[in-house]
Amino acid sequence: MADDLERPGGDAEHEAPPHAAPPSIWPFAFALGIAVALIGLVVSWPVAAIGGAIALVFGFLWIREATREVRGTPPPAPPARADEPEELDEEGNARYPRSVFLEGATLGIGALIGGIVTVPALGFAVLPAFVDQDYDQVDLGPLDNFPEGEWLITTFKSVEDEPEDVSRRTAYIRNNGDRDGQPSFTIISNRCVHLGCPVQPQGLTEEEATEIETDTGPVELTTTEPSGFVCPCHGGAYDIEGNRTAGPPVRALDRYEYSIVDGRVVLGQPYSVGHVEGEGSEALIKAYPIADPGVHVDGLEQYFYPYVP
């Protein structure tokens, strides 16, 4: 009876099959890094850098694990079963497993197809944000067209080569007189910083406009006497310097840079404003790079909005 008892280390056919290697988490971590990097391209550069670092680290670990056998450091192999003899080549060396080759080929082809599909789409989605971001200078005419202390609704073409209906823009301009021997102007954009609707002056506005021709296109000047500015879309309100006073806007109205060239007012690039202290030529402007409507430019809220290149 003792010979019939099962003893440890019996025949191979009674042994339990070897366990498969546990799945690796490196591919999932690599995919997470790519996702974070893509989100960072929209949100902010620090987030994109973190995602890129994650993808690099876990991508390296994934490649290292996938190529372990190729590099000559295979993991401990389970004992061969009696019914599955190890395949050898003519010289007696173990053959390169077909399963490993097929796995590597599948991953390589999948990565190639993914790159072919993803890179063009990503380029079309992201690249426009980094090119053609400059603004044309606009000749608004001679200084004599802007009487000191008066507000003028100034309509102009922002891009010389585009049709007027496409590039038509409006700014509210006041000549503040001289400051330290230089002309001072307040030039406020009419784009509401809530959702981009055109704000209107609160006050009397002449019906007739004066049109002049300049080197960059026609300019219309209309006299107005505003006590502030208001957005007719959602009730955003601003004071005479463009500071938000009521409604959903998150900051002050944007402004334009300007220069005086040969006695003519030349409009430059727009910029965003957090707040304005003071008035006219004595105003202190907290200026920032141009931002989209609805985006905070200062305070803690600024870190929750996309980066503007």
110-121, pLDDT tens digit by residue?
778 777 777 776
State whether 74 and 203 are in the same domain: no
Domain final residue, candidates 85, 114, 130: 130
Which domain covers residue 273, as residue numbers? Answer: 138-304
**In a domain? residue 164:** yes
pLDDT digits (tens, 9 = 90+) for 124-164: 666 665 555 567 788 898 898 999 999 999 999 887 767 66
Instruction: Judge if 193 and 255 occupy the same domain.
Output: yes
Q: What is the pLDDT of residue 26?
A: 80
111 & 29 share domain: yes
pLDDT digits (tens, 9 = 90+) for 20-38: 455 567 887 888 888 888 8
**65-87 mean pLDDT:** 60
Specify the pLDDT at position 187. Answer: 94
Give pLDDT, residue 2: 47
Q: Is the pLDDT of residue 200 over 90?
A: yes
Tokens at residue 36, please?
């974070």
> Do 162 and 285 share a domain, yes or no?
yes
Q: Are 203 and 227 in contact (CB under 8 A)?
A: yes
29 forms beta bridges with none
Q: Residue 300 pLDDT more than 80?
A: no
Residue 300 located in a structural domain:
yes
The CATH code of the domain that includes 142 is 2.102.10.10
**Are 250 and 152 found together in one domain?**
yes
> In this prediction, what percent of the chain has a pLDDT beyond 70?
73
Residues 81 and 227 in one domain: no
Q: Dihedral sign, CA of 137, 142, 143, 145?
A: negative
Helix (H, G, I), strand (E, B) or coil at 66: helix
* Domain count along the chain: 2
Asked if 185 and 158 touch (Cβ cutoff 8 Å), the reply is no
Closest by CA position to 273, among listed 295, 249, 252, 301: 252
Is the overall model pTM greater than 0.75, yes or no? no
**pLDDT tens digits, one per residue of 218-228:** 899 999 999 99
- Following DSSP, what letter does each residue of 14-54 receive, concatenated? GSPPPPPPPPPSHHHHHHHHHHHHHHHHHH-HHHHHHHHHH
Residue 34: φ, ψ to 5°: -65, -40
Which of helix, strand or coil describes residue 156?
A: strand
